[in-house]
């Protein structure tokens, strides 16, 4: 079976009907389920947070069998993930989709665990440091999508676990943990 | 015409009439149906009655017989009276009494000068029937047949003559010139009968049987032709000959039910005739045929008495009311087909299953035309079957620039909680094997 980067594709990725949106309800539901799982697995392993419906996304076409998903099929599968709370449309036109293989709540828990692991309970960090600082190297937070991180941080702020404040430069915000 | 021995019980006049499974009379050679009336009783005028009266049936007038068929299957059996037995038709008396009566026609028939009364209990073109009865009786179509039979036997014996001249002194057909002349003569006679046929539409119906026998003759000739020519014919010619044979075979309903002959019972009788007719085309088409195809077959067989698509549809919908072995079926897509009642979907489904689980088709799927070849049915029908197999979850589809293909539906076999697991025994495993064969 072929691979995308180091991601092992399942056998059915070469099954031509997998790439045609099935019209029969039961068959379609099963197909959508399989696409949902594959997209989430792939995004998680490749740390992909954003899928553009109109952009090239490796899963959406299979050159080995010369098949690719139609626009309608892409939107259907992504909408199914959104419906499960594992993704969000970033625009009304459904062109960009934010993939949440961890839900925001789970990301918030990961941030808290990261704070505890590094003894940062009362420290101050910039948002950028959480994403790309030395402490986050090798953790799930490394390279996290800024939008997702900010949503997780805001959730924690509402729970009183931290305070967000404006930094000196406009594109950086500070975090004061108080776990 | 001899009266059958079985008819003694009902007065020596009636013969048992053969009917088809759908309740249409079986006509004899060259017999043409002329009129049909419903709610007819047949009584004996004599006192005491000379035969048991026949109650409430359809009366069919043909060029040869009066056929009475019970409308419900009661004790009465379908019976017929040969027109040749009729010795006198009484003229219709208009009197005060007859105004309160149901209209009736009386005629005398042999053997024994039995007076028979036809009583019209329902509505219908009574006068039209009477004049048609006169016409058929005077036409003496049965005598013509006897005459032509004796003629053919005469000309048959004529061919025994030897030498350059025939029995009647004409030059016999010899050599190439003879063949050409024979051909020419045949064309002329064919041309003449065609011209006669089109001169008068009324005359056309009387020509119908000649047309049919002409078609039959031409078919016989075509059938014998390939053996007499030692392989000199090329493929194209053979193809057109086969086509011609097919055409000839399908000219065939000598006595089509028409609005004129059947009146109010038109659709009902058309429906019965159609039920009898569809059997052969249906068999050839593999048990199911589209309504449009049948329209074409049926009208071609009817020759000049074409029916409208609506008439065909109405005739088919009436099948529900009769005990006929065929039915009209509407697919989800709106396509309407005629199929045998015995034609089971399960059987078609299992054949499709067989087809799509073969190693090769597992890998590349099937198109409607592939399925048509395997199932030996029309591609349009094959597509309907594939679509209904898809609806049942047996198949799923693949749309690509190459067109629509159907694959065995593997989706139910794949475990969504572990995308990589493959059960050892299953079609999914078979499919993986089939596809991996390709990459090796």
Q: Over the stretch B290-315, which tens digit does the pLDDT of each residue have?
A: 898 899 888 888 877 788 898 899 88
Can you tell me the distance from the alpha carbon of B296 to that of B302, in angstroms, rounded to the nearest whole number? 10
pLDDT of residue A156: 92
Query: Could you tell me how many residues make up chain A?
Result: 179
Kindly report the CATH number that applies to the domain delimited by B263-340: 1.10.10.10
Answer left, alpha or beta for residue B332, where phi above 0 means left and psi between -120 and 50 means alpha.
alpha
| pLDDT above 70 (res B369) | yes
Per-residue pLDDT of B336-357, as tens digits, reads 888 887 777 788 888 899 999 9
Question: What is the count of structural domains for chain A?
Answer: 2
**Pick the residue with more confidence: B28 or A27?**
A27
Can you tell me the distance from the alpha carbon of B100 to that of B98, in angstroms, rounded to the nearest whole number? 5
Can you tell me the distance from the alpha carbon of B412 to that of B426, in angstroms, rounded to the nearest whole number? 11
Of B277, B393, B287, give the one whose Cα is nearest residue B338. B287
| pLDDT above 90 (res B321) | no
pLDDT of residue B161: 40
Same domain for A79 and A55?
Answer: yes
CATH of the domain at A40: 1.10.10.570
Which of A99, A134, A161 delimits the end of a domain?
Answer: A99
Per-residue pLDDT of A47-92, as tens digits, reads 899 999 988 899 999 988 999 999 999 999 999 999 998 999 998 8
Q: Domain of residue A110: give its range.
A: 104-177
Same domain for A143 and A72?
Answer: no
Mean pLDDT estimate for chain B: 77
> For an interface test with B, which of A30, A63, A73 has the most B Cβ atoms less than 10 Å from its Cβ?
A30
Which of A46, A71, A99 delimits the end of a domain?
Answer: A99
Non-local (6+) Cβ contacts of A157 within 8 A are A163, A164
Whether residue B290 contacts residue B383, with contact meaning beta carbons closer than 8 Å, is answered with no
Can you tell me the distance from the alpha carbon of A50 to that of A57, in angstroms, rounded to the nearest whole number? 10
Same domain for A34 and A109?
Answer: no
Which of these ranges, A158-162, B378-382, B397-401, has the smallest mean pLDDT? Answer: B378-382
Whether residue A176 contacts residue A124, with contact meaning beta carbons closer than 8 Å, is answered with yes
Domain assignments of chain B as residue spans, ordered by start: 5-139, 174-252, 263-340, 345-439
| Both structure tokens of B373 | 């070849």
pLDDT of residue B380: 82
Confidence band of B367 (pLDDT split at 50, 70, 90): very high
Same domain for A140 and A173?
Answer: yes
Same domain for A164 and A131?
Answer: yes
Chain B residues touching residue A20 (CB < 8 angstroms): 396-400
Which of A44, A72, A99 delimits the end of a domain?
Answer: A99
Confidence band of B117 (pLDDT split at 50, 70, 90): confident
Non-local (6+) Cβ contacts of B366 within 8 A are B355, B356, B386, B405, B406, B407
Say whether residue A67 is in contact with chain B using an 8 A CB cutoff.
yes
Pairing state of beta strands B114-120 and B104-109?
antiparallel
| pLDDT above 90 (res B433) | no
pLDDT of residue A21: 95
Same fold flag, B263-340 and B345-439 = yes
Q: Is CATH 1.10.10.10 correct for B345-439?
A: yes
Task: State what percent of residues in chain B have pLDDT above 70.
Answer: 73
Same domain for A112 and A94?
Answer: no
Give the dihedral sign, CA B90/B93/B97/B99.
positive
| pLDDT above 60 (res B169) | no
Kindly report the CATH number that applies to the domain delimited by B5-139: 2.30.29.30
CATH of the domain at A122: 1.10.10.10
pLDDT of residue B375: 82
Annotate B207-235 with three-state secondary structure.
HHHHHHHHHHHHHHHHHHHHHHCCCCCCH
Cis amide bond preceding B48, omega within 30: yes
Same domain for A86 and A35?
Answer: yes
**Pick the residue with more confidence: B59 or A3?**
B59
Arithmetic mean of pLDDT, A84-112: 91
Can you tell me the distance from the alpha carbon of B375 to that of A103, in angstroms, rounded to the nearest whole number? 52
Give the distance between the most distant pair of CA atoms in chain A: 57
* Beta-carbon count within 10 A of A96 CB: 16
User: A24, B393: Cβ pair inside 8 Å?
Assistant: yes
User: A16, B412: Cβ pair inside 8 Å?
Assistant: no
Cis amide bond preceding B111, omega within 30: yes
- State the DSSP code for B264: G
**Pick the residue with more confidence: B52 or A114?**
A114
Closest residue in chain B to residue A33, using alpha carbons only:
B416
pLDDT of residue B239: 63
């Amino acid at each position: 079976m072929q691979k995308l980067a180091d991601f092992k594709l399942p056998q059915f990725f070469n099954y031509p009907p997998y790439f045609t949106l099935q019209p029969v309800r039961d068959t379609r539901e099963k197909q959508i389920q399989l696409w949902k799982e594959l997209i989430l697995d792939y995004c998680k392993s490749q740390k992909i947070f954003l899928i553009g419906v109109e952009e090239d996304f490796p899963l959406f076409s299979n050159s080995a069998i010369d098949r690719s998903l139609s626009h309608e099929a892409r939107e259907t599968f992504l909408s199914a993930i959104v419906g499960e709370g594992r993704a969000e449309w970033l625009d009304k036109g459904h062109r960009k989709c934010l993939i949440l293989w961890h839900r925001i709540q789970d990301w918030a828990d990961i941030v808290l665990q990261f704070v505890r692991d590094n003894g940062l309970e009362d420290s101050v960090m910039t948002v950028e440091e959480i994403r790309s600082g030395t402490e986050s190297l090798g953790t799930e937070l490394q390279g996290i999508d800024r939008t997702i991180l900010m949503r997780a941080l805001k959730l924690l702020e509402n729970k009183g676990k931290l305070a967000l404040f404006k930094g000196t430069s406009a594109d950086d915000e500070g975090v004061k943990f108080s776990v | 015409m001899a009266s059958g021995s079985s008819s003694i019980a009902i007065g020596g006049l009636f013969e048992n009439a053969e009917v088809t499974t759908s309740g249409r009379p079986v006509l004899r050679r060259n017999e043409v149906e002329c009129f049909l009336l419903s709610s007819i009783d047949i009584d004996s005028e004599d006192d005491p009655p000379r035969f048991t009266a026949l109650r409430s049936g359809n009366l069919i007038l043909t060029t040869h017989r009066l056929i009475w068929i019970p409308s419900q299957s009661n004790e009465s059996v379908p019976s017929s009276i040969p027109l040749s037995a009729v010795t006198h038709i009484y003229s219709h008396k208009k009197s005060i009494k007859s105004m309160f009566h149901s209209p009736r026609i009386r005629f005398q028939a042999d053997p024994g000068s039995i007076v028979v009364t036809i009583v019209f209990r329902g509505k219908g073109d009574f006068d039209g029937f009477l004049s048609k009865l006169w016409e058929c009786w005077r036409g003496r179509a049965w005598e013509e047949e006897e005459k032509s039979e004796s003629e053919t036997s005469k000309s048959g014996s004529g061919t025994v003559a030897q030498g350059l001249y025939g029995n009647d002194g004409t030059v016999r057909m010899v050599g190439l010139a003879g063949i050409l002349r024979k051909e020419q003569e045949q064309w002329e006679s064919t041309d003449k009968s065609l011209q006669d046929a089109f001169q008068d539409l009324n005359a056309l119906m009387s020509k119908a049987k000649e047309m049919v026998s002409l078609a039959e003759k031409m078919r016989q000739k075509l059938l014998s032709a390939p053996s007499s020519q030692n392989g000199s014919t090329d493929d194209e010619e053979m193809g057109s000959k086969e086509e011609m044979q097919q055409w000839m075979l399908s000219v065939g309903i000598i006595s089509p039910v028409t609005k004129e002959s059947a009146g109010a019972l038109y659709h009902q009788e058309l429906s019965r005739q159609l039920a009898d007719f569809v059997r052969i085309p249906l068999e050839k088409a593999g048990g199911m045929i589209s309504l449009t195809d049948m329209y074409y077959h049926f009208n071609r067989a009817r020759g000049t008495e074409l029916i409208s698509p609506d008439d065909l549809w109405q005739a088919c919908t009436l099948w529900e009311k009769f005990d006929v072995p065929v039915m009209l079926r509407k697919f989800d897509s709106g396509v309407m087909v005629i199929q045998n009642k015995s034609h089971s979907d399960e059987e078609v489904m299992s054949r499709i299953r067989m087809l799509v689980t073969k190693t090769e088709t597992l890998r590349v799927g099937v198109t409607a035309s592939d399925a048509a070849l395997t199932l030996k049915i029309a591609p349009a029908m094959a597509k309907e079957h594939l679509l209904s197999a898809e609806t049942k979850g047996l198949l799923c589809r693949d749309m690509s620039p190459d067109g629509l293909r159907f694959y065995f539906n593997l989706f139910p076999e794949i475990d969504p909680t572990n995308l990589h697991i493959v059960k050892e025994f299953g079609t999914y495993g078979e499919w993986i094997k089939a596809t991996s064969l390709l990459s090796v």
